[in-house]
């Protein structure tokens, strides 16, 4: 059904900024889920007559950082605008936003899809606005909490370059990751601090014109984004195939019924009667400010992934898994700086360390293992001083209570037995005690080698050097063949 049509999808992402205070007043930004309602409010964010807003410099700083990270041109001359509409969660009757002159424009973000294909999504604009209050509908009425009113909100608007629900998900996931890298948004979607609104339309393949679009409101999970978008594409194709026309409207996503439903016919920009906010001066971002903001940018996840694959020889999967969270990536970087071998370190982090952290409920921030101690442990495995199974035991203790790997190895008696003569004596004993197994092995049942290795490991209480045991066993069993 979709073969005849090309999907055209653009995303608006609203991200609350993690500033201490609100966008235009000194009220604290509080957790909108746990804080008591209407406890972080003042005449400014309650929209009282005569109040005057003051711009939060830190919020602008965050917005500039995000715009730079998304490759936008920064507008040195910004104007705030009033977006007029009436709703009970908006006590002023207008929202202070930006319209003609946003902070950033003309950016782009490359996203990689699960199959490995990369596509470039244009960023139309990045602008600042203020959040609204929160309504709770109860039987017989509605409650309104203005704690969220005036919280700085960043809106990131993509070009309509997205072609599927999966691509929308990949783009939004990357945006969330960048916002977390920049420390400007927690990414807690279940708390509503990041909301996604795709606008979706179809056009005949080969056409340049845009079809009529619908907008899905306030999606707060990536799954809802991908599934809601795909549902809407299929719905619109069915409407068009049936000879109907798509109505421009706002639709909601029903998470349990897995379908979209009509909410209201969409307002046009002119319905909002935008005009320059008379209570605020123009916002000027001077060159020094821009230089400082650029200098404060961390290495971004895309750059980390490229460095991990190109310079360190990791697979794209390993690179993405390590770069997913900035704290983990920086810990991995510190391991490499401390002399860890990238491929080995990546393996141990992604398999053993992540498993242990998961079991123990630890995050990288409260991990008592220093990168240097981790490298020291890997060095002992590589040097044959401790085998893999024992090293996992040591790592578990390090994750529980810190400590130096050498001290743990000594205290637990986990040093690997690599004394060739001692291992040979043990192996000769096992061979002598198991003539039937030897005969079967020599008769062609070579899988018995693993059984012999197991016997030798048991005889060394798990501390034998497995590579050496393998070699000695093979040599001594084969020697019997020719004897
Ligand atoms: Zn306030």
Domains plus CATH for the chain?
Answer: 2-289 (no CATH), 299-412 (no CATH), 420-482 (1.10.10.410)
Q: What does the pLDDT read at residue 165? A: 92
**Pick from 92-96, 207-211, 278-282: least confident:** 207-211
Residue 268 clears pLDDT 80, i.e. is over it: no
Q: Under a CB-based contact definition with an 8 Å cutoff, are residues 44 and 53 in contact?
A: yes
- The CA 32 to ligand 1 mean position distance, Å, reads 14
Residue 1 clears pLDDT 80, i.e. is over it: no
Residue in the block written with tokens 């902070």 = 103
Residue 213 clears pLDDT 70, i.e. is over it: yes
- The CA 90 to ligand 1 mean position distance, Å, reads 13
- The CA 480 to ligand 1 mean position distance, Å, reads 87
For residue 3 the two structure tokens come to 């073969």
Q: What does the pLDDT read at residue 363? A: 92
Q: Average pLDDT, whole number, for the chain? A: 92
- The CA 148 to ligand 1 mean position distance, Å, reads 10
Q: What does the pLDDT read at residue 482? A: 66
Q: What does the pLDDT read at residue 464? A: 85
| 81-90, 303-312, 422-431: range with highest mean pLDDT | 303-312
For residues 239 and 366, what is the distance between their CA atoms, to the nearest angstrom?
54
- The CA 382 to ligand 1 mean position distance, Å, reads 59
End-to-end Cα spacing for the chain: 73
Give Cα separations from 434 to 118, 283, 309, 437, 451 (angstroms).
Answer: 59, 86, 49, 6, 11
Q: Which residues contact 369 (CB under 8 A, 6 or more apart)?
A: 353, 395, 398, 399, 402
- The CA 37 to ligand 1 mean position distance, Å, reads 13
Residue in the block written with tokens 């400010």 = 289
Q: What does the pLDDT read at residue 220? A: 85
Q: What does the pLDDT read at residue 63? A: 96
Residue 359 clears pLDDT 80, i.e. is over it: yes
**Pick from 284-288, 298-302, 411-415: least confident:** 411-415
For residues 196 and 224, what is the distance between their CA atoms, to the nearest angstrom?
10
Q: What does the pLDDT read at residue 2? A: 59
* Segment 278-292 mean pLDDT: 93
- The CA 290 to ligand 1 mean position distance, Å, reads 28
Q: Under a CB-based contact definition with an 8 Å cutoff, are residues 332 and 349 in contact?
A: yes
Residue 266 clears pLDDT 70, i.e. is over it: no
pLDDT band at 384 (very low <50, low <70, confident <90, very high): confident
For residues 345 and 331, what is the distance between their CA atoms, to the nearest angstrom?
11
Q: Under a CB-based contact definition with an 8 Å cutoff, are residues 162 and 9 in contact?
A: yes
Q: Let me know how long the chain is.
A: 483
Q: What does the pLDDT read at residue 208? A: 87
- Reported as a single tens digit per residue, the pLDDT across 103-140 is 999 999 999 887 888 999 999 999 999 999 999 988 88
Q: Under a CB-based contact definition with an 8 Å cutoff, are residues 14 and 197 in contact?
A: yes
Q: What does the pLDDT read at residue 350? A: 97
- The CA 41 to ligand 1 mean position distance, Å, reads 4
- The CA 147 to ligand 1 mean position distance, Å, reads 8
For residues 448 and 455, what is the distance between their CA atoms, to the nearest angstrom?
11
- Reported as a single tens digit per residue, the pLDDT across 41-58 is 999 999 999 999 999 999
- Reported as a single tens digit per residue, the pLDDT across 418-469 is 888 888 999 999 999 999 999 999 998 988 999 999 998 888 888 888 888 9
Residue in the block written with tokens 């794209």 = 316
For residue 108 the two structure tokens come to 């782009």
Q: What does the pLDDT read at residue 129? A: 96
With a pLDDT cut of 90, the percent of the chain lying above it is 73
- The CA 50 to ligand 1 mean position distance, Å, reads 14
- The CA 284 to ligand 1 mean position distance, Å, reads 24
* Segment 282-295 mean pLDDT: 93
């Amino acid at each position: 059904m979709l073969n005849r049509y090309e999907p055209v999808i653009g995303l608006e992402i609203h991200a609350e900024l993690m500033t201490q205070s609100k966008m235009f007043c000194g009220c604290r930004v509080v957790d909108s889920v746990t804080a008591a309602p209407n406890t972080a409010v003042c005449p400014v964010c309650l929209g009282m007559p005569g109040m005057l807003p003051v711009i939060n410099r830190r919020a602008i700083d965050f917005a500039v950082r995000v715009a730079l990270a998304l490759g936008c041109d920064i507008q040195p001359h910004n104007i705030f605008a009033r977006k007029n509409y009436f709703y009970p969660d908006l006590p002023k009757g207008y929202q202070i936003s930006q319209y003609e002159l946003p902070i950033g424009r003309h950016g782009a973000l490359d996203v990689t899809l699960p199959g490995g294909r990369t596509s470039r999504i244009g960023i139309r604009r990045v602008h600042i606005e203020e959040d609204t209050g929160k309504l709770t509908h109860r039987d017989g009425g509605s409650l309104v909490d203005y704690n969220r009113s005036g919280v700085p909100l960043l809106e990131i608007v993509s070009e309509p370059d997205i072609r599927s629900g999966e691509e929308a998900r990949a783009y939004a996931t990357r945006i969330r990751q960048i916002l977390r890298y920049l420390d400007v948004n927690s990414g807690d979607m279940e708390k509503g601090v990041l909301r996604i609104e795709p606008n979706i339309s179809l056009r005949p393949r080969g056409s340049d014109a845009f079809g009529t679009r619908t907008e899905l409101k306030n999606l707060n999970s990536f799954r809802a984004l991908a599934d809601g978008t795909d549902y809407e594409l299929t719905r619109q194709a069915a409407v068009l195939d049936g000879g109907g026309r798509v109505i421009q409207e706002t639709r909601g996503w029903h998470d349990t019924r897995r379908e979209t439903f009509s909410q209201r016919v969409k307002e046009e920009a002119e319905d909002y009667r935008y005009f320059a906010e008379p209570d605020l001066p123009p916002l000027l971002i001077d060159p020094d400010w821009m230089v400082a903001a650029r200098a404060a940018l961390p290495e971004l996840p895309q750059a980390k992934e490229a460095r991990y694959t190109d310079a360190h020889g990791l697979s794209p999967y390993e690179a993405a898994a390590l770069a997913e969270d900035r704290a983990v990536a920086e810990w991995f970087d510190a391991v490499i700086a401390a002399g860890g071998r990238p491929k080995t370190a990546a393996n141990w982090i992604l398999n053993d360390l992540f498993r242990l952290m998961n079991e123990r409920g630890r995050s990288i921030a409260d991990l008592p293992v220093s990168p240097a101690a981790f490298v020291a442990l890997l060095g002992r495995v590589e040097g044959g001083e401790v085998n893999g199974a024992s090293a996992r035991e040591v790592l578990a203790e390090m994750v529980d209570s810190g400590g130096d790997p050498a001290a743990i190895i000594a205290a637990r008696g986990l040093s690997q037995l690599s004394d060739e003569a001692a291992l040979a004596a043990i192996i000769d004993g096992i061979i002598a005690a198991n003539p039937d197994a030897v005969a079967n092995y020599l008769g062609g049942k070579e899988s018995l080698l693993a059984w012999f290795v197991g016997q030798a490991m048991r005889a060394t209480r798990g501390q034998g050097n497995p590579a050496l045991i393998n070699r000695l066993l093979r040599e001594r069993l084969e020697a019997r063949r020719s004897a």
